[in-house]
Every structure is written in structure tokens, then in C-alpha cells.
């Protein structure tokens, strides 16, 4: 049995999609990011970085004690190894899939994440960060558009690289990006989104905060996501070690 500690964010959805695609037995431990349960010491034992998603496999590869994993890209690679699916066997395609997975982790997710922060959460954003991250968000879609003129999927066949990128592309609607501007990206987005596992595991309610264009946070919510409560959770671990 696998426990997925997750929430309705792009990083949470990519792992949920992989679990749905593989059919691996799992249960979802759902979190509300605004409540701060992920900042507790109990969750810190699973992920010392206090970020979602995280995964605990009670029957891990190789046996032994339950295995806790964090960072969504690492989780996708683990699940691909455990299931033997969605990571190509051919070395060239396999490394192509890993390359695009790392690109999502290092570029698409972080840069779009900054765009979301300044456009959706920052109460009084300066013009510079808004322009900086909006421009970078668009540039990264140009990169995807170029790749998808060469192949139907990022590693030529559907893989964890597509699962990693798809939820972040979908989330771009919340920062006023219309993927119709990138026709090959739009075709890929529709192709991946038509899969049953993606429809089920990647669903977001229309009234969920992840779908909202602008969020007005309370002082407590800000502290949990970006402020003192988030910072103090990790510092408490350091003080106890």
C-alpha cells in the first residue's frame, strides 16, 4: 500500500495521475495548504522540507521498512521503477524523458510558480517581478511548443515527463495565459487531458483556490504559506537535532 500525502496543486496532481495510470494500490491523505498540517513534526518525519506532495510506500522496492519519499520528480521516477511503466526502455528515449522531467522540476514549475506568487498572492506586486516571471513563463511555453513540433509527446511516447508538465500547463489559466497561442502545446494538452487517468486524478473543482486567478490571504494563511509559521517549522527541527 502506498500513502500519497497530497493536495490540489500541480505537483500533487502529477503524482496522483501517475498512481491512477499505473493502478498501484494507494490511498490519498489529503491536505489543505492553508491549514498548515504539513508544517507539523509528524509530517516533517516524512518530508523534512515540509512540502507537498510526499509519498510513503509500505511495501517498497527491495522490501524492508516503509520508504518515505519527497520531491514530485523523484516520486515519479520511483513509481516508474516500481510499476515498470511510463519510463521508456530504450536508453535514448529513457534519458529524453528524464531530461524533460528535470526541465519541469528546474524550470517550468519554479518559474511558473513565481509567476503565480506575484500575480495571484502578492498583495502589492512591483512591476519588475510581474514582468520578469510572466516573460519567463511565456518563454518556457515557447520551449514546449518547439519540442512538440518534433514529437507528439516529450519523450516521443507518453511518459512521466508529460505527467509532470501537464498540470503546470493547465494551471497557466490562473495567470492569464491562453495556451491556444501555442497550437502544438494546445494539441498535446488536449491529447494528454483526454486520458481517463488524467481526467480523474487531475480534476480541480471550479471553486477550488488552485483555479482562482487572485487570492486574498488572511494573515494566518500568509504565515503558513510564506511567512513565520512556514519558517519556524524547519527551525524547530534544527533546534531539536
Q: Which three cell numbers stand for residue 169?
A: 500547463
**Domain identity same for 26 and 119:** no
- 57 located within any domain: yes
Do 48 and 140 lie in a common domain?
A: no
| Shared-domain flag, residues 175 and 227 | no
136: which 3 cell numbers? 519567463
pLDDT > 90? residue 3: yes
CB of 178 within 8 A of CB of 94?
no
Q: What is residue 238's predicted lDDT score, i.e. its pLDDT?
A: 58
Identify whether residues 70 and 147 lie together within a single domain: no
Answer yes or no: is 209 within a domain: no
| Per-residue pLDDT, 214 | 73
What is the percent of the chain where pLDDT is above 70? 93
Q: For position 13, which CATH number holds?
A: 3.40.30.10
The answer on pLDDT for 206 being more than 60 is: no
212 in a structural domain: no
Residues 98, 196, single domain; the answer is yes
- Ranking 26-40, 142-156, 185-199 by mean pLDDT, the lowest is 26-40
Local confidence band at 218 (pLDDT 50, 70, 90 cut-offs): confident
Q: Both 193 and 96 in a single domain?
A: yes
pTM for the predicted model, two decimal places:
0.93
User: What tens digit of pLDDT does each residue of 89-123 get?
Assistant: 999 999 999 999 999 999 999 999 999 999 999 88
Residues sharing a CB contact under 8 Å with residue 186, sequence separation 6 or more, in sequence order: 179, 180
Q: For residues 129-158, give the mean pLDDT.
A: 98
pLDDT of residue 231: 82
Q: What's the number of CA atoms in the CB half-sphere (13 Å) around residue 119? A: 22
In a domain, residue 206? The reply is no
* 65 and 121 part of one domain: no
Query: What confidence score (pLDDT) does residue 219 get?
Result: 87
Q: Are residues 22 and 70 in the same domain?
A: yes
The per-residue pLDDT for 180 is 97
More confident site: 80 or 213: 80
Q: Are residues 180 and 119 in the same domain?
A: yes
Query: Which pLDDT does position 28 carry in this prediction?
Result: 94
Per-residue model confidence (pLDDT) at position 240: 57
Average pLDDT, the chain: 92
Does 197 lie in the same domain as 95? Answer: yes
Residue 211 lies in a domain: no
What are phi and psi for residue 89, nearest 5 degrees?
-75, -40
Taking 70 as the threshold, does the pLDDT of residue 136 lie above it? yes
Is residue 166 one of the residues assigned to a domain?
yes
User: Within this chain, do residues 80 and 128 fall inside the same structural domain, yes or no?
Assistant: no
Q: What per-residue confidence (pLDDT) applies to 239?
A: 56
Residue 164 lies in a domain: yes
Q: Are residue 66 and residue 106 in the same domain, yes or no?
A: no
Q: Is residue 18 part of a domain?
A: yes
Distances (CA, A) of 100 to 73, 94, 109, 160, 180: 11, 10, 12, 9, 22
Residues spanned by the domain of 196: 91-201
Cβ pair 79, 18 in contact under 8 A:
yes
Number of domains within the chain: 2
User: Which CATH number characterizes residue 111's domain?
Assistant: 1.20.1050.10
Amino acid at each position: 500500500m502506498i500513502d500519497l500525502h497530497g493536495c490540489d496543486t500541480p505537483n500533487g496532481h502529477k503524482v496522483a495521475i501517475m498512481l491512477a495510470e499505473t493502478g498501484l494500490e494507494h490511498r490519498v491523505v489529503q491536505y489543505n495548504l492553508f491549514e498548515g498540517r504539513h508544517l507539523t513534526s509528524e509530517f516533517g518525519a516524512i518530508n523534512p522540507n515540509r512540502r507537498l506532495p510526499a509519498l510513503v510506500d509500505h511495501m517498497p522496492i527491495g522490501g524492508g521498512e516503509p520508504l518515505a519519499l519527497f520531491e514530485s520528480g523523484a516520486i515519479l521516477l520511483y513509481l516508474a521503477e516500481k510499476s515498470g511503466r511510463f519510463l521508456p526502455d530504450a536508453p535514448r528515449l529513457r534519458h529524453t524523458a528524464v531530461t524533460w522531467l528535470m526541465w519541469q522540476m528546474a524550470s517550468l514549475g519554479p518559474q511558473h510558480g513565481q509567476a503565480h506568487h506575484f500575480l495571484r498572492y502578492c498583495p502589492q506586486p512591483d512591476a519588475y517581478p510581474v514582468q520578469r516571471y510572466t516573460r519567463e513563463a511565456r518563454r518556457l511555453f515557447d520551449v514546449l511548443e518547439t519540442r512538440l513540433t518534433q514529437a507528439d509527446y516529450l519523450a516521443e511516447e507518453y511518459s512521466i515527463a508529460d505527467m509532470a508538465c501537464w498540470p503546470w500547463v493547465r494551471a497557466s489559466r490562473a495567470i492569464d495565459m491562453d495556451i491556444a497561442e501555442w497550437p502544438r502545446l494546445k494539441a498535446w494538452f488536449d491529447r494528454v487531458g483526454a486520458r481517463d487517468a488524467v481526467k480523474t486524478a487531475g480534476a480541480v473543482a471550479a471553486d477550488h483556490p488552485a483555479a482562482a486567478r487572485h487570492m486574498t490571504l488572511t494573515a494566518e494563511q500568509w504565515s503558513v504559506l510564506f511567512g513565520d509559521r512556514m519558517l519556524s517549522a524547519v527551525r524547530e527541527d534544527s533546534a531539536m537535532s
